[in-house]
Structure 1
């Protein structure tokens, strides 16, 4: 009975009533698609960490079956991961992506590396590796197009070699299994993914909850009328949940389909040096099913939370009485959360950081309506004309609805404040003078190795100055050396010292990649946040017009110019946005302070500050543009000469 009545009321809302339903469906669809993206990012980084774990050997306490080490080589300024393997006794199980364990004197190259080795002259790349025995499968690669080589050795060769010269190299060790463990770099990316997900998911959940309360005034009036004619509280709650869940389920399905269509494009976003396998950006069917269940439940719960006045005081709702003011305890809750933030650091557990940021987010959202109500009182008291007076009275009358219109951009201000000044400065990768290749040697071997280096370079036709140092040999190339010459020199010096790779100073700036990826991640999170914010602002602005169409119509009949109504509507959006947006940015900056010293290498970057300023401009422009889109709807609802309630 309740479901049938709900369906009749849903269909019988008229053309504008159905428009409100479509707005809710669209809001849920956007929330679901972006929620799937935020969740999928964590699983994608986990999949990468699992695929790359076999390259990070775990020393065996007993029962060793092989010797394994890894090092970084370089070609055309691209990193090559070289894994050296040697079997102890019978060949053990092969690593992922290989049909068998590599034999001494053979190499297995990734598809991209094999293609590059075939395209470049042998003296620049292929001569560094022994005979190619095959091509690695995708199971051995962190991302498509990765340059990886697996080289087989005799045990004595690896046992005599030391660790590589690049940051992240691991010295050959005896291992009991080739399973390995996640690298420190992979763990860092997973932590950053969790932080980014919190910065995206919390606004999405708030937006999804707000979607359940779109056209809330129209629905409250309708349900209050049902209560006054005898409907029981349980029936009112049941109809509300049914309506919200039906619309939310349709929106969640639409959002899931939208994400599936967008996933191939998302897989092209480069992180950790390359794009993603298509399977990485698709959550498992179980996760997708959980999202499809959780989103309608959240929307239904949010709809029920807003029913307290309808159930307890339906007459007050019908008479449009102003609800009681909110309490200052909301501000105290936010201050309590912020008091904990300075205790955090990069060494704090990832779960604790995620929870703290989520609570700060929710605290800003909790304080928002209280601040909007205060802004309304001040605006109405200081008004010197009808525009400010109407805007102020509207903010006082329904601060929650007014907050929903600006909450998306205000919460994005929190994200921009947290990420903008946290963005790392661009590293100076340039090095003065001609390129230099450095090979570390054992103590007392530098002179002998330098003679061998001169001979190899002479045979390769490379003009260079070789000079021994205490524990290294430094090769300074001619100042006019191009990338091909540098690669010929690398190839000539490869294997000069077992386990050592010729490197330049630029090769060892491994933090450049993670800082570049932080910048990319910042842009992605901000893009997602602004998409949510602007969509939220536009949808709630149109919903607000539908909710108050009777009030707008009566004001027009009383002689209020349409321009005054439109300006008042803009004022009731931009005034709280200025205050709450600025406050949210400051809260975001405050929350970023404990992490700034470690992540920005000495402070906030100019680019980060420019990003923050750009976010402010885009946020205001987005809200103004979203409000402009609802202007034709305002004109249409005020054109009715006899406005009536639903």
Structure 2
């Protein structure tokens, strides 16, 4: 350990630069890994806070009656919860200081503010009664959610009405024994989408984090091989490798934690499911943070040990810079086998399905990538018509793993873009539903009475409308076609018709599609977020590994310069050895990603998906070219003095 620390500190300016690159790579991986973990915990937290509004029927003694329905104002959804106590001393629902008494109304902060801003005939008129308090954060999905809780008598019409029809109508009056509830269908959908997004983010992060241990690997291998040749035991070499990797990785993990903490206020502003996040949602907790701080250095240490076989078995070969044996075709077989599982693998668990259908092909691409890069190197070497292409091809053959590390980030991003491009549904899936003609379900025995009352109420509210009843059976649909089609008139009409049929509100076709439209919009937001994370990883990976490659090969570059090779030829060779495998593997990864999305696809690829793919390809190439250009000054620096160094 003491020798490891001395070698780490005494590596000179370039040695410290190499360690700094590892720290930077681990910091980026750690920060984004914590974000991926936080996303899943945040969606679970939202589901838990919303569960009390999805009641479960009492199996024993009932203590209360709960009814939940959805209302709307200014194209925003309001969750209205009516409660009636059946026994004295009933425990209050989450977010309330006490159980609401009959005639009391409790508003969420955002709804209370909206009630004050809008005229009473557009919103407040729907909630008669005494405002008794505020619904706390523990009962809200997000800070801007609109929630109203009203106290009722057990025998009131609201608590004895028939449940409304439709999958999104809410929960009719139900006797309950507590407010445990269960996750709603929308909450489960968001948790599944969050899981898919996390897998798409975590797998490249794990690959990048593991690759961080192999940065400046050639320099370290030379040093360890020299120690083996002077008598160091295999155990000492392994211990030194793990110690060096863990020391640098722990520093990077701590730095990543700091970076994530600084970015949390920005992350809370990402709006999903109609609103932003609570600050606590984006913090995964002390245990999760400690787990990441332990897991990341261990992963980096394990990845560093994996490459030590040649040093332990043949240190002389490493010292002489012998080309390692070619990789086996079994790597490609593993990729083909994982792809063969995609169309036939079916399980009920979303976690297992996501892990197998996304995770295994993702990892298999990373496994097969170096083999493909080596084959490309052989092809390029044979077809080369200039020194730059010849150098690039020989470099790909000599160390395909290092070349793959430079382009793997963008190739993995291509997988993500291909997957999302097919998965994302078109924004017009629900069409342009009518947003102004309000509909109300009415028992057939009350059609005439309710129709007359609706006309009278709308006329008193100053909203010109044509009211007609249609449909057959026990329930008729009352439609109010408004003469005025502005938002104020629509909300005034909603308020006028509120309470006309107990337990139901007037809604438009657009209202009934709102949750589905919201999910589609959130898929688009999630797409941008996942791709932003993937691009950040890809560009950071390309930049860090390109700089590390220059440091690893500084002696080779110096000898080439000493032999008369122009610096421009070296730069052209570096660009070629990056862009050639990137073109092949990036395109292949996009196709594989699209193939793996087929079990999840809910519609054909849309225009937005095609644009996403094109943007991904353009930004990916630009990012890698930019990363290579950023390391050009470092190449100039290491070749400034081409005289051979003692090492």
**d(CA) in 1 for partners of 2:628, 2:634:** 10
1:158 corresponds in structure 2 to: 158
Q: In the TM superposition, what whole-angstrom CA distance separates every residue of 1:119-138 from its partner, at most 9, and x where no partner exists?
A: 11100000101222211111
**d(CA) in 2 for partners of 1:312, 1:89:** 77
1:457 corresponds in structure 2 to: 458
Matched, 1:484 2:482: no
| CA drift at 1:446 | 1.8
2:139 corresponds in structure 1 to: 140
1:609 corresponds in structure 2 to: 610
SS in 2 for 1:506: helix
Over 3 Å counting, the alpha-carbon distance change for 1:373 and 1:587 in structure 2 is same
**d(CA) in 2 for partners of 1:159, 1:547:** 74
Q: In the TM superposition, what whole-angstrom CA distance separates every residue of 1:253-280 from its partner, at most 9, and x where no partner exists?
A: 0000110111111011001110000001
1:41 corresponds in structure 2 to: 39
**d(CA) in 2 for partners of 1:8, 1:174:** 71
**d(CA) in 2 for partners of 1:343, 1:240:** 42
SS in 2 for 1:82: strand
Q: Is the 8 A contact 1:165 1:501 kept in 2?
A: no
2:373 corresponds in structure 1 to: 372
Matched, 1:563 2:568: yes
Matched, 1:521 2:526: yes
2:416 corresponds in structure 1 to: 415
**d(CA) in 1 for partners of 2:646, 2:412:** 33
2:392 corresponds in structure 1 to: 391
Q: How many equivalent residue pairs?
A: 639
Is the deviation greater in 231-240 or in 564-573? Answer: 231-240
Q: In the TM superposition, what whole-angstrom CA distance separates every residue of 1:184-239 from its partner, at most 9, and x where no partner exists?
A: 11111111111111111110011011000000000000110111111111111111
| CA drift at 1:641 | 3.0
2:364 corresponds in structure 1 to: 363
| CA drift at 1:304 | 0.6
TM-score, normalised via structure 1 length: 0.97
The counterpart of 1:66, out of the listed 64, 80, 83, is 64
**d(CA) in 1 for partners of 2:434, 2:274:** 27
Q: Is the 8 A contact 2:84 2:159 kept in 1?
A: no
SS in 2 for 1:124: coil
2:541 corresponds in structure 1 to: 536
| CA drift at 1:170 | 1.3
| CA drift at 1:168 | 4.7
SS in 2 for 1:85: strand
For the aligned residue pairs, the C-alpha RMSD in angstroms reads 1.4
**d(CA) in 1 for partners of 2:48, 2:362:** 31
Q: Is the 8 A contact 2:68 2:82 kept in 1?
A: yes
Map 1:125-204 to 2 at 5 A: 125-131=123-129, 132-156=131-155, 157-164=157-164, 167-204=168-205
The counterpart of 2:503, out of the listed 499, 502, 512, is 499
SS in 1 for 2:342: helix
Runs of 4+ aligned residues of structure 1 deviating over 4 Å after TM superposition are 344-348, 428-434
The counterpart of 1:582, out of the listed 584, 587, 595, is 587
Q: Is the 8 A contact 2:347 2:353 kept in 1?
A: no
Is the deviation greater in 93-102 or in 528-537? Answer: 93-102
Over 3 Å counting, the alpha-carbon distance change for 1:228 and 1:633 in structure 2 is same
Q: In the TM superposition, what whole-angstrom CA distance separates every residue of 1:397-448 from its partner, at most 9, and x where no partner exists?
A: 0000110000000011111100122111112667587821000011232222
Q: In the TM superposition, what whole-angstrom CA distance separates every residue of 1:306-333 from its partner, at most 9, and x where no partner exists?
A: 1111111000001100100111111111
The counterpart of 1:118, out of the listed 116, 120, 124, is 116
**d(CA) in 1 for partners of 2:132, 2:371:** 69
Over 3 Å counting, the alpha-carbon distance change for 1:563 and 1:378 in structure 2 is same
1:31 corresponds in structure 2 to: 29
SS in 2 for 1:288: helix
| CA drift at 1:449 | 0.8
| CA drift at 1:159 | 4.0
| CA drift at 1:588 | 0.3
**d(CA) in 2 for partners of 1:221, 1:299:** 19
Q: In the TM superposition, what whole-angstrom CA distance separates every residue of 1:78-103 from its partner, at most 9, and x where no partner exists?
A: 10001111111324111011111112
1:292 corresponds in structure 2 to: 293
Q: Is the 8 A contact 1:379 1:392 kept in 2?
A: yes
SS in 2 for 1:507: helix
SS in 1 for 2:438: strand
Q: Is the 8 A contact 1:20 1:546 kept in 2?
A: yes
1:638 corresponds in structure 2 to: 639
Map 1:419-438 to 2 at 5 A: 419-427=420-428, 431=432, 435-438=436-439
2:630 corresponds in structure 1 to: 629
SS in 1 for 2:143: coil
Q: Is the 8 A contact 1:130 1:151 kept in 2?
A: no
| CA drift at 1:36 | 0.3
- Structure 1 residue runs without a partner (length 5+): none
1:382 corresponds in structure 2 to: 383
Q: Is the 8 A contact 2:438 2:479 kept in 1?
A: yes
Over 3 Å counting, the alpha-carbon distance change for 1:68 and 1:190 in structure 2 is same
**d(CA) in 2 for partners of 1:432, 1:502:** 15
2:75 corresponds in structure 1 to: 77
TM-score, normalised via structure 2 length: 0.97
2:555 corresponds in structure 1 to: 550
- Structure 2 residue runs without a partner (length 5+): none
**d(CA) in 1 for partners of 2:159, 2:253:** 57
Q: Is the 8 A contact 1:53 1:179 kept in 2?
A: yes
Q: Is the 8 A contact 1:38 1:201 kept in 2?
A: yes
